[in-house]
Chain A
Amino acid sequence: MTALRFSRKNLALPYALFLLVFVAAPLLVLFYYAFTNGQGHFTLGNLTGFFTDPNTLGTLCYSFAIAAVTTLVCLLIAYPTAYILANSRFKQKSVLVMLFIMPMWINFSLRITALKEILTLIEGNLAMFPFFNAVIGMTYDFLPFMILPIYTTLSKMDRSLIEAAKDLGADEKAAFLKITLPLSVPGIVSGVSMVFLPAMTNYVVLDMLYNSTYIMGSLIGSYFSAYNWHGGSMIALILLAIICIFTLLTSGMEEEDSRAMGGARL
Chain B
Amino acid sequence: MMKKRTLPVFLLTAALAAGALWCPSMHLEAASHPDADVVLRVCNWEEYIDLGDWDEEETIDLESGDIIGENSMVEDFEEWYYETYGKKVAVEYSTFGTNEDLYNMLTLGDVYDLVCPSEYMFMKLMAEKMVVPLSDGFFDEEDENNYYTRGLSPYIRRVFDESEIGGEPWSRYAAGYMWGVTGIVYNPEVVSREDASSWGVLNNPAYRRQVTIKDNVRDSYFAAVGAIKKDLLTSEAFREDPDYHLKLQDEMNDVSPRTIAAVQDWLQSVKDNAYSFETDSGKADMITGKVVANYQWSGDAVYTMDQADEDDYTLNFAVPMESTNIYFDGWVMLKAGIEQDPAKQQAAEAFINFCSRPDNVIRNMYYIGYTSVITGGEDDTRVFEYADWCYGAEEDEEETLDYPLGYFFVDDNENEDYILTVPAEQADRQLAAQYPAEDVLERSSIMVYFDASVSESINQMWINVRCFNIKKVPVWAWILAAAALSGIAAFLYKNRKRTYKL
Instruction: Please list the residues of chain A having a beta carbon within 8 angstroms of any beta carbon in chain B.
Output: 54-59, 61-62, 65, 68, 120, 125-128, 182, 185, 207-208, 210-214, 218-219, 222-223, 225-228, 249, 253, 256-257, 259-260, 263-264
Contacts and interface: CB of A to CB of B under 8 A. Distances in A.
A58 to B, nearest CB: 4
B500 to A, nearest CB: 8
Given A55-B467, A68-B484, A222-B466, A212 B499 contact: no
A125 B473 contact: no
Contacts, number: 100
Contact of A58 (B275, B472, B502): B472
Interface of B: 100, 209-210, 215, 217, 271, 274-279, 281, 290, 455-456, 459-460, 462-464, 466-473, 477, 481, 484, 492, 495-496, 498-500, 502
Contacts of A263: 502
Nearest to A185: B495
A56 B467 contact: yes
B467 A214 contact: yes
Given A59-B468, A127-B274, A228 B484 contact: no
Contacts of B460: 226
A48 B209 CA distance: 36
Nearest to B458: A226
A127 B463 contact: no
Given A127-B275, A256-B496, A214 B468 contact: yes
7 contacts: A55-B464, A125-B209, A212-B276, A218-B466, A222-B459, A222-B462, A226-B459
By CB atoms of chain B within 10 A, which of A59, A208, A263 has the most? A59
A128 B462 CA distance: 22
Contact of B499 (A59, A120, A256): A256
Contact of B495 (A211, A222, A253): A253
Identify the 5 closest CB pairs spanning chains A and B, nearest first: A226-B459, A58-B470, A55-B467, A210-B276, A62-B468
B318 to A, nearest CB: 22
Contacts of A257: 495, 499
Contacts of A127: 209, 274-276
A212 B470 contact: no
Given A212-B274, A214-B463, A219-B463, A58 B469 contact: yes
A55 B271 CA distance: 15
Contact of B498 (A61, A65, A126, A182): A182
A228 B473 contact: no
Contacts of B466: 212-214, 218, 222
Interface majority SS (helix, strand, loop, mixed), chain B: helix
Contacts of A223: 463
Contacts of B502: 259-260, 263-264
B11 to A, nearest CB: 19
B470 A228 contact: no
By CB atoms of chain B within 10 A, which of A65, A207, A212, A227 has the most? A212
Nearest to A55: B467
A55 B469 contact: yes
A74 to B, nearest CB: 16
B210 A125 contact: yes
A208 B279 CA distance: 10
Given A226-B463, A228-B456, A212 B473 contact: no
Contacts of A225: 100
A208 B277 CA distance: 11
Nearest to A117: B288
Contact of B467 (A58, A182, A227): A58
Contacts of B210: 125
A106 B307 CA distance: 29
B384 to A, nearest CB: 40
B290 A213 contact: no
Contacts of B464: 55
Given A125-B210, A260-B499, A219 B279 contact: no
Contact of A55 (B455, B463, B492, B495): B463
A54 B471 contact: yes
Contacts of B468: 55, 58-59, 61-62, 213-214
A182 B491 CA distance: 11
A59 B467 contact: yes
Nearest to A210: B276
Nearest to B471: A54
A128 B209 CA distance: 7
A126 B471 CA distance: 25
Contacts of B281: 208, 210
Nearest to A264: B502
B224 to A, nearest CB: 15
Contact of B456 (A61, A65, A219, A226): A226
A26 B213 CA distance: 35
B498 to A, nearest CB: 7
A47 to B, nearest CB: 17
B209 to A, nearest CB: 4
B463 A222 contact: yes
Given A125-B209, A182-B498, A226-B459, A54 B470 contact: yes
Contact of B469 (A54, A185, A218, A253): A54
Given A207-B279, A212-B277, A263-B502, A58 B473 contact: yes
A38 to B, nearest CB: 9
Given A54-B471, A65-B477, A213-B468, 18 more contacts: A55-B463, A55-B464, A55-B469, A57-B470, A61-B468, A208-B281, A210-B275, A210-B276, A212-B277, A212-B466, A219-B467, A222-B459, A222-B463, A223-B463, A226-B460, A226-B462, A257-B495, A259-B499
A214 to B, nearest CB: 5
A235 to B, nearest CB: 11
Given A127-B274, A225-B100, A264-B502, A58 B463 contact: no
Nearest to B460: A226
Contacts of B477: 65
Nearest to A209: B276
A78 B24 CA distance: 46
Contacts of A227: 455, 459
B56 to A, nearest CB: 34
B280 to A, nearest CB: 10
By CB atoms of chain A within 10 A, which of B276, B462, B468 has the most? B468
Contacts of A218: 466
Contacts of B215: 212
By CB atoms of chain B within 10 A, which of A68, A125, A226 has the most? A226
Nearest to A54: B470
Contacts of B469: 54-55, 58
A249 to B, nearest CB: 7
